[in-house]
Amino acid sequence: MLDSPHRRFNPLTREWVLVSPHRARRPWQGQVEKTPSATLPQYDPTCYLCPRNERAGGVSNPDYSGTFVFENDFAALLPDESTENHASGHPLLVALPERGICRVVCFSPRHDLTLPELDIPAIENVLTTWTRESADLASKDFIQYVQVFENKGAVMGCSNPHPHSQLWSQSQIPTEIAKELAAQTAYFNEHGRPLLLDYVREEQKRRERLLVVNDHFTALVPFWAVWPFEVMVVGHRPTAALSDLNPAEISALADVFKQVTTLYDNLFEISFPYSMGFHQAPADGQPHPEWVLHAHFYPPLLRSATVRKFMVGYEMLAMPQRDITPESAAERLRALSPVHYKQR
């Protein structure tokens, strides 16, 4: 394990991260976060995501019993073509129209149950819903990419504690996907194998960053991780999208998601905040043999439930930097109980 300052290369984005392990020992007198509420009601009459409650514009939710999907009431992208003139008359001032469709997926009618507190069949239902909605959005003739993501916790900007996720689909390939597409395509063209499959095989040999492994998926702290307890979940075969998974793989992925999110909650014994998202191949109608379906978990907490990592200063102006090594983060997560702290 390297304990001196060094850089690590991310082959997925072809970018570098600075690792400074000695900085983890510095005293902290900065901002302290509020810990999230320990208990939430099963149903909140004021929540606009709970069953039977009213959303924006007077729309009422159905009395749903499983997942619930609806078009985002405050969508960042709109499906209709814009007639607005975006021309600026200068090559350094470029603006182009962007179309898309945004949806919300509530995990269950329960206001108080996050992913690690759901049972495996319920998590499978969430995955199946993401799969169905991704495929439906990708079938639209103007959609080039579908992003599935969850922002968990107020510290990650989540505006409603009712466990939910989102799908944003758009007419152009977004920046992070374009970087991963270029890197994976270049690697595949040179080696004839998917980058992420080679990477997972190497991690399985070394084992020091592994968290959860089953027949179909591996969860690990990436060698190039930026966030303190970042995790990546990677499939064991080339799959361009969620819709490529078979039922056994959906079950295996549900098991990995439950284990990873349980470890997160057990780390500081709170409902652990993060941003999670699947990276699927572009929905451009082209084959993508270079692509392996994977999910990224980006959690902000660093030392405790109240101290988080800030991406400011050097990180914003120069390059990402982390204070604890990915190996030490994986070691801490592996040492935790697999049983959720609320159920002990």
Nearest to residue 128, comparing CAs of 247, 297, 262, 256?
247
Place of tokens 């090594």: 325
Kindly report the number of other CB atoms within 10 A of residue 256's CB atom: 23
Pair type for strands 15-19 and 321-322: parallel
Task: Compute the distance between CA of residue 19 and CA of residue 13 in angstroms, rounded to an integer.
Answer: 17
What share of residues in the chain are helix, strand, coil (percent, to 5)?
30, 20, 50
323 Cβ contact list (under 8 Å, min separation 6): 20, 21, 23, 24, 228, 302, 309
Q: Which of 162, 164, 236, 296 is catalytic?
A: 164
Pair type for strands 231-235 and 217-220: antiparallel
Helix pair 247-268, 326-334: axis angle to 10 deg: 90
Nearest to residue 301, comparing CAs of 226, 229, 225, 233?
229
Q: Is 6 a catalytic residue?
A: no
Nearest to residue 209, comparing CAs of 302, 334, 327, 333?
327
Residues labelled catalytic: 164
